[in-house]
Amino acid sequence: MASRETGIKEQLRRQWIETPSWAYGNTGTRFKVFRQPGAARDAFEKIEDAAVVHRLTGVAPSVALHIPWDKVDDYARLAKHAADLGMRIGAINPNVFQEDEYRLGSVCNPDPAIRRKAIDHLLECVEIAAETGSPAISLWFADGTNYPGQDDISRRQDRLAAALRETYDAMPEGVSMLLEYKLFEPSFYTMDVPDWGTSLLHCQALGERAQVLVDTGHHAPGTNIEFIVANLLRVGRLGGFHFNSRFYADDDLLVGAADPFQLFRIMNEIVAVGAHAPDSGVAFMLDQCHNIEDKVAAEIRSVLNVQEATAKALLVDRPALRAAQEEGDVLRAHEVLMDAFNTDVRPLLAELRTEMGLDPDPIGAYRRSGHAARTRADRVGGSSSGWGG
């Protein structure tokens, strides 16, 4: 057992979970943005907050950017700022959903001039990825329609394919395209990328560096997300995750808050094929908006939740599970999974952190650090760069 725990801890030690810059700025719902004292006001301060999360957890060494929320004059300087803090720039996320021109869509808009504007922004983000050393362009489109007959469904797919092709062809070697899907919202009759099948079809048409991104909050209630994950892994097209929780729709709450068993089931499929390793090509990213809770503490909590789900998945007795499956022993197979899920892995993770030279209680260490008080005192004036900022 001791040697097994040593192997599990070694795998957890190498885990890589990317946090999103927008989690550190002011965010809100369509109803209200509750501005928090000390919230990051620019990309530099967001990276500083992300560095706190990494310093206390040891497994969050990159931060995703959202453009133009994180637009700066000198991206090389921003990348150096990250490196000086022991961080690196993660996925670059274009924003083609906030401007008035995108009322009828961005890259799928019937107006060619608006499509050109949107594609130019995607190409700008490709350049930013090259300047910052980012490994990926992460694309999500709010494009869709609200009414039958509003636009031609097939022609919108053609426009989307053309925009993706131009962007893909402009990407430098070493940069991947992650294409995210979402069942509904803000469009309610059709979304132009509503599901993993649509995303997969476009990725397959583009090339090997185009991969599907699974946001855990972007599905219909009751969707078996681990089934989707297993199938994308099977064909080598799972590019990554945006981890969060949802109760009703795209809530962007702490991952594992609504359904920790679902998070475990997803990680079980990931671990079963070794895709949890940093060199697997699957990016583990958080996509969360902390509207009423402390932003840095919330990101730490989410990282810990992903760690715990991964540790439990690593505890699954694979030989026993396979034997039960092949024997058709339904209850025994289920029991093997439940034994792992019901194991309290917090002592193991605390031991691992101690071995890594970290505080075994990252949340407690954050509260004792005084970071929140310092940022409230230092970040006075200006405005948070982000949703509703």
In tens, the pLDDT along 284-315 reads: 999 999 999 999 999 999 999 999 999 999 99
Q: Tell me how far apart the alpha carbons of residues 12 and 292 are, in angstroms, rounded to a whole number.
A: 30
> Residue 30: pLDDT band by 50, 70, 90 thresholds?
confident
Q: At what angle do helices 260-272 and 330-341 cross, to 10 degrees?
A: 110
pLDDT in tens, 354-375: 999 999 999 999 999 999 999 9
User: Residue 2: inside a domain, yes or no?
Assistant: no
In the chain, the percentage of residues whose pLDDT exceeds 90 is 93
Average pLDDT, the chain: 96
Nearest CA-CA partner of 107 in 123, 91, 92: 123
Residue 328 lies in a domain: no
Residue 284 lies in a domain: yes
- Does a structural domain hold residue 330? no
Confidence of residue 60 (pLDDT cuts 50, 70, 90): very high
Band of residue 102 on the pLDDT scale cut at 50, 70, 90: very high
Query: What is the rounded distance in angstroms from the CA atom of residue 80 to the CA atom of residue 295?
Result: 24
Measured CA distances, 212 to 93, 240, 241 (Å):
14, 7, 9
Is the model's pLDDT at 226 over the cut of 70?
yes
pLDDT band at 43 (very low <50, low <70, confident <90, very high): very high
**309: in domain:** yes
> Does 186 map to a domain?
yes
pLDDT, tens digit, for every residue of 183-218?
999 999 999 999 999 999 999 999 999 999 999 999
225 CB-side CA count, 13 A:
29
Residue 385 CA to residue 284 CA, distance in Å, equals 24
Does residue 386 register a pLDDT over 80?
Answer: no
| pLDDT for position 368 | 97
Instruction: Decide: 111 and 75 in contact? Cβ < 8 Å.
Output: no
CA 179 to chain centroid: 12
pLDDT for the residue 177? 98
What is the tally of structural domains in the chain? Answer: 1
Nearest to 213 by CA among 290, 281, 113: 281
| pTM as predicted | 0.95
Task: Tell me the residue range of the domain where 43 lies.
Answer: 15-316+362-378
Residue with token string 């022993």? 329
Q: HSE (CB half, 13 Å, CA atoms) of 312? A: 26
CA 380 – CA 389 distance, rounded (Å): 14
Render pLDDT for 68-81 as a digit per residue (tens, 0 to 9).
999 999 999 999 99
Which amino acid is residue 389, in one-letter code?
G
CA atoms within 13 A on the CB side of 136: 29
3-state DSSP percent of the chain in helix, strand and coil, to 5: 50, 15, 40
Within a domain: 289:
yes
Q: Please state whether 121 falls in left (phi above 0), alpha (psi between -120 and 50) or beta.
A: alpha
Q: For tokens 């671990």, what's the residue?
A: 271
> Hey, CA dihedral for 8, 62, 240, 146, is it positive or negative?
positive
- The CATH number given to whatever domain includes residue 93 is 3.20.20.150
Query: How far is it, in rounded angstroms, from Cα 106 to Cα 123?
Result: 14
**What are the helix (H) ranges across the chain?**
2-13, 43-57, 75-84, 112-132, 153-170, 196-206, 225-234, 260-272, 295-314, 318-326, 330-341, 346-355, 362-369, 371-378
Give 169-179 pLDDT, tens digit per residue: 999 999 999 99
Residue 321 domain flag: no
